[in-house]
Structures are given as C-alpha cells and as structure tokens.
Amino acid sequence: MKCRICLAILLLAPLGSMAATPAPAGAAAGATGQAAAGVAALVAEAGRIGNQARLPPHLVEVLGLGTHVGGLAVRQLALRQGSVVRTFNVSAANALDIVIFDYDEATRATLVCLLTPAAKLRRAVTYVAGDAPHVLAMPEARRRFGPELNYWLAIRLSASPASR
C-alpha cells in the first residue's frame, strides 16, 4: 500500500509541475508560429498573384528601408471595403521587407506597418494625406498593428482572392 502511494506521488509530481507552467506563454508561441506561417503564405501569394506597385519614396525612407528613387517596387495584394483600402506589400528587392497599408479614403488617414516574415512589427507610421508621417511609439504601434495583422491572416484563411 505504501509503495502504491509513493508511486502515485512520484507519477503525479511531474504532472503538477507541468500544470504550473503558464499556458499563455505556450499559447503565444503557437500563435506566433501560426502568424508567421500566415505571413509566409501571404508573401507567397503576393509573389504569385500580387500586382506590381511602388511604395512612395518618402514613406520608404521613414520606414527605414533606405532611399529608392521613384519608390520601392513591391508585389501587392489589395482589398477594398467601402472607403477603406488595405494592401499587403512585399518588396521585390528583399522579401524580408513586408509592409501593410490601411488607408481610409473618407478621412484620408493612413496606417503603415513594417513587419518581418515572422509577423513581428518593426515600425509603424501614421499620416493624413498632405501631412508629414509620424512614427508611432512601440506600445501604440503594437496596439494598432494587431488588428491589421489579424485582418490579413483572416483573409488568408478565408481563401479570398486578395488581388483582383
């Protein structure tokens, strides 16, 4: 009887220690992996069916992508919902440079997010047409980036043709 209790305690001890491991960290790692896989699929789709476009030179410079006379050549997936136009852009020169645009034609406000293929935000910029761009502080940038990334990941999962 004593051996059974000892055996039960030994068998349960590792389970207890695993249960104490915070679940959100594991969940976040899984979510990050899924986001990276989603971004990789969007990059591949942009390369396959994306329209050729150019990001404006001043914006390319503000994003820290160097200077490109005439703008940065990209492959672009674009969607319109009412007055909102969203684009997913992959640099033709460097597929590691991915830019998400959210432009509202009614307010003329734009949010631009530069991200990595691992779905990590590098920089976010906002501006209203005609005004100077404003680089967002990271806490605000992350808050605004989350919904944009989720939008594109949902589009990828819905298998909606994103470039027509």
pTM, entire model: 0.77
CA distances from 15 to 20, 63, 121 (A): 9, 47, 36
- Would you state the structure tokens that stand for residue 20, as one six-digit string? 């104490």
Percent of the chain with pLDDT over 90: 61
* Cα angle: 23, vertex 28, 29; to 5 degrees: 100
- On whether the CB atoms of residues 114 and 99 are closer than 8 A, the answer is yes
Q: Round to whole Å and give the CA distance between 104 and 92.
A: 25
> For 58-93, what is each residue's pLDDT tens digit?
889 999 998 778 899 999 999 999 999 999 999 999
Helices (H), the chain: 2-19, 23-49, 57-62, 138-158
